[in-house]
Amino acid sequence: MTRDGRAAVIDYALACGPYDGPRLPYRGALTHTTAPEIATAVLATPADSHIQARPAADVWGLGASLFWCWTGHRPVDYDDDADRMDKLRAIAKGGATAVGEVRPWPFPAFEEAIPACLSQDSADRPTAQELATAWRPCER
């Protein structure tokens, strides 16, 4: 929380800055927050290949995190005991769980935004600015 009462989101994985210098390869973050396009790239490249995350992938990760925090369910269904590559295959294939099927209580702002964040097509996801604007009425 910032001093002025606003929430601040930090990158808890491996930041993908704009420079091309030496780095550890980024191969996705927590499995349930890995966007479909990142999952597809991880599955299609050698383990030492860097996958550049774009803002739309971060929006997917935010939507996935909010989905799980609010509902207690992962946004994409996969077996707990599956290996990571199988989990990534499920994410890459698409088909996020409908939030209305697992939500614990109505929350209209989330019920609109979370499915948009979890759009399989990254071009259909809202930007961070669009989310901030949409959620502004939720402020106290």
Q: Name the one residue in this structure whose structure tokens are 């989905």.
A: 67
Residue 62 placed within a domain? yes
Q: How far is CA 113 from each of CA 52, 57, 61, 93, 136, rounded to the nearest angstrom?
A: 24, 15, 13, 21, 12
**Parent domain of 78:** 31-138
Predicted local distance difference test score (pLDDT) of residue 48: 87
Length of the chain: 140
Residue 3 placed within a domain? no
Higher pLDDT, 136 or 52: 52
Structural domain count, the chain:
1
Q: How many CA atoms lie within 13 A of 75 on its CB side?
A: 33
Higher pLDDT, 133 or 89: 89
Predicted local distance difference test score (pLDDT) of residue 77: 92
Where residue 63 sits, what CATH number does that domain have?
1.10.510.10
Predicted local distance difference test score (pLDDT) of residue 135: 75
Predicted local distance difference test score (pLDDT) of residue 26: 72
pLDDT tens by residue, 56-88? 999 999 999 999 999 999 999 999 899 999 999
Residue 35 placed within a domain? yes
Residue 8 placed within a domain? no
Give one DSSP letter per residue of 67-95, joined into a string: HHHHHSS-SS---TTS-HHHHHHHHHH--
Contacts of 14 (CB under 8 A, 6+ apart): 24, 26, 29
Predicted local distance difference test score (pLDDT) of residue 66: 92
Q: Which residues of 108-125 are buried (b: 16+ CB within 10 A; e: fewer)?
A: eebeebbbebbbbebeeb
Residue 89 placed within a domain? yes
- 20-24, 101-105, 107-111 — which is least confidently predicted? 20-24
**Average pLDDT for 117-133:** 93
Residue 23 placed within a domain? no
Residue 6 placed within a domain? no
Residue 57 placed within a domain? yes
Q: What is the mean pLDDT of the chain?
A: 85
